Amino acid sequence: MLTHLSDRIARMRRTHIINHPNTLEFQLFRKTVTRDEPGTLGGAMMLGDDDEHSFDYSFVGGGYALPAEQFQPSDVYSAGDAPFQAGPEFRFVLEPEEMDAFTPDRHDLMYLVISDDVKLAFELLKPESQMFMAPSSDVWLAARRADGLDLIIT
**145 close to 121: Cβ distance less than 8 angstroms:** yes
8-12, 22-26, 83-87: least confident range: 83-87
Across the chain, mean pLDDT equals 78
Reported as a single tens digit per residue, the pLDDT across 82-141 is: 555 556 788 899 999 988 889 999 889 999 998 888 888 899 998 886 655 555 667 888
- Domain containing residue 118: 2-152
**57 close to 31: Cβ distance less than 8 angstroms:** yes
- The domain total for the chain is 1
Residue 45 is predicted with a pLDDT of 63
Tell me the CA distances in angstroms from 121 to 30, 47, 80, 89, 105, one per residue in order: 13, 25, 28, 13, 15
Residue 154 is predicted with a pLDDT of 40
Tell whether the model's pLDDT for residue 70 goes beyond 80: no
Tell whether the model's pLDDT for residue 149 goes beyond 80: no
* Helices (runs of H) and strands (runs of E) counted in the chain: 1, 9
Reported as a single tens digit per residue, the pLDDT across 27-58 is: 999 988 777 766 566 556 655 656 667 778 89
**83 close to 73: Cβ distance less than 8 angstroms:** no
